[in-house]
Amino acid sequence: MDLLRTIACQQHSRMCEQTLAKSGELRLSRRADPPTPPAAAAPEMSRIITDPSTGKCYCRGKVLGKGGFAKCYEMTDLSTNRVYAAKIIPHTRVAKPHQREKRIVNCSEIELHRTLFHRHIVHFYHHFEDKENIYILLEHCSRRSMAHILKARKVLTEPEVRYYLRQIVSGLKCLHEQGILHRDLKLGNFFINESMELKIGDFGLAAKLEPVENRSRTICGTPNYLSPEVLNKQGHGCESDIWAMGCVMYTMLLGRPPFETTNLKETYRCIREARYTMPSSLSSSAKQLIASMLSKHPEDRPTLDDITQHDFLTQGFTPDRLSQSCCHYAPDFHLSSPAKNFFKKAAAALFGGKKDKVKFLDNQSKPNCMLHTLVFSPIEGFPLLCLQRFQCMLSNCYNVFFFLFTALEDSTMGSVADTVARVLKGCLENMPEGDNFPKEQLNCSFQWVTKWVDYSNKYGFGYQLSDHTVGVLFNNGTHMSLLADKKTIHYYAELGQCSIFTATEVPEKFIGQVTILKYFAHYMEENLMEGGDLPASTDAQKPRLCLLQWLKSDRALMMLFSDGTFQVNFYHDHTKIIICNHDDEYLLTYINEDRISTTFRLSTLLMSGCSQNLRARMEYDFKFLKTELRKQSQGCTL
């Protein structure tokens, strides 16, 4: 009878393996043990778990996921109420002689994961063990995983795929730079936090990158995501992770893995031959990127930097952030505007659908020119800007952030674009090599943009300053600001002509624009997060920032203000550069991807150099600006 029971259990295990293989979520590894008959039920795990080394107590919550070696639970630190994702591995799974290799796996997972610190990698906090289990405390991602999102959504839109793919590349680059291969990239191992940011997790199969001759020939990973070289036992390299990324991208866009078939042998045959179908519904750039990542030969696949520069990621719209509703419903992207539905409902509620009033708003929003520019008359300390010349200069500046240390004081010195190009060139030629920011850093405050909304397809561009002033540069060239007190409004038809009135006593001709201004303010307050930790200026004597010009490219947003301040926000990593005049000295502030700011004098930068990352950005921007100036030299005098 025992023999029959054993045979039945083995048959049942094989059936489960085939079912899981078809779903693409079976994780294979020679480290895994052969299936065994079920034993007597293990005693139930205690809900209160104590760390013997620290005495801290944790409360075990609901199950978050199950793997081959462990289960993952919510676990709350009872002293701080902080919630973790706890991977709990029973000692019984690693104590037997034939399971010693699993013990090595678990130790390797801990040693590799604890060294990784990156915005798009699940954070490792702590590990401990007691008599029954090993506990690994990890960052808790409340929106679960990409597998759960795709199960609800079936497929994702291309802007969403760009949004997630950028973050996967960013996290994977950190791994590869430290010589670590993930070896199990799949939707179930991409976790999503409360802010809808992606985190790479589950390092149970991760390994150090070895020279080709020393690489492990173990076949491990998830069947539908294995690369040809792994199946052929040629070992894992960085290219195997790139292949898995190609499978992930294909799955997100089409709802199924590229090599999925009815049986595992056929799946492996398709993988070895790199044979899959490419539906016509995909865009040409998506097809090209997938095809390059799923190249049969590892050396033909793109690097992570190549992927970052691919047309799929650089040419199409990528949202700055996603709403949590995207876990269940497809987002509504319209002309890159995240506020479309909000403003549509607001306008309908305010104007009751009357055509003449809607037409009034449309007339308010009609642009005077191709670029969204506010024409200012000269005031004390600010020169007269020639509109034609300024427009032509700005049309050359897509993909460029402006590195400025001279005021715009002398229009006879040539175009501003030429000046910026010379300054960039001078900085790059004279800055010494550096590996980091200068040691001399400042602690000062000034106004900068913390939030913004592009609704220029209808009304204009809205932004919030660090002192909580909200401004809108309307498409018709006028500008309006709601000050931080929420009571005072400044209206500029021209910079030297400011009309001031209260929010409760609005002149009739401004009612439509004030309404739009208030909706911009409400939308940003309710839906957008602050862009960094930089404090606001509290100097009441400083002139208020007023947006002169904004310009978007596929990589960045540039904003130019009335006092000469330049701010550039980069989409892909949410970093920002702000250049401003503070106490008659020009400063450069860099806000990194974790929203932490660093400020220093430009003179210090020229003396000490800067990080390679910032220098590379400057070099790219200078080359781009130089190319664009050359293109325009025959058709426009700047």
Rounded distance, CA 371 to CA 397, Å? 12
What residue type is 7 in one-letter code?
Answer: I
Of 194, 276, 185, 179, the closest CA to residue 230 belongs to: 185
- Measured at the CA of 141, the angle between CA 136 and CA 144, to 5 degrees, comes to 110
Compute the distance between CA of residue 200 and CA of residue 169 in angstroms, rounded to an integer: 10
Helix, strand, coil % over all residues of the chain, rounded to 5? 35, 20, 45
The span from the CA of 59 to the CA of 539, in Å, is: 49
Question: Which helix (H) or strand (E) covers residue 460, if one does?
Answer: strand 460-465
Crossing angle between the packed helical segments 511-527 and 340-351, to the nearest 10 degrees: 140
Q: How far is CA 137 from its chain centroid? A: 24
Which three-class secondary structure state does DSSP give residue 625? helix
Which of 51, 77, 184, 485 is the catalytic position? 184
Extract the tokens encoding 168.
């996967």
In the beta sheet, which residues pair with residue 59? 48, 76
Is residue 450 within 8 Å of residue 468, measured between CB atoms? no
**Can you read off the two tokens belonging to residue 444?**
């000062």
Nearest Cα to Cα of residue 268 among 22, 35, 13: 22
Closest by CA position to 26, among listed 220, 223, 250, 189: 223
Phi then psi dihedrals of residue 348, to 5 deg = -65, -40
Q: Which two tokens stand for residue 428?
A: 């790059």
Q: Which two tokens stand for residue 180?
A: 């670590």
Q: Greatest CA separation found in the chain? A: 100
Rounded to whole angstroms, the Cα distance separating 571 from 319 reads 8
487 is known to lie in a ligand binding site: no
Classify residue 588 as exposed, middle or buried by CB count within 10 Å of its CB (0-12, 13-18, 19+).
Answer: buried
Is the sign of the CA dihedral 401, 405, 409, 410 positive or negative?
A: negative
d(CA 246, CA 240): 10
User: Which amino acid, one-letter code, is at 343?
Assistant: F
Q: What tokens were used for 96? A: 């037997």
> What is the token pair recorded at 354?
């009357």
Q: Is position 184 annotated as part of the catalytic site? A: yes
Helix (H, G, I), strand (E, B) or coil at 634: coil
The total number of residues written for the chain in this structure: 638
Mutual orientation of helices 511-527 and 355-365 as an angle, nearest 10°? Answer: 80
Evaluate the CA torsion angle 418, 424, 429, 430 in order and state its sign: positive
Which structure tokens are listed for 105? 């796996």
Catalytic residues: 184
Question: Which residues make up each annotated binding site for ATP?
Answer: 96
Question: Which residues make up each annotated binding site?
Answer: 96
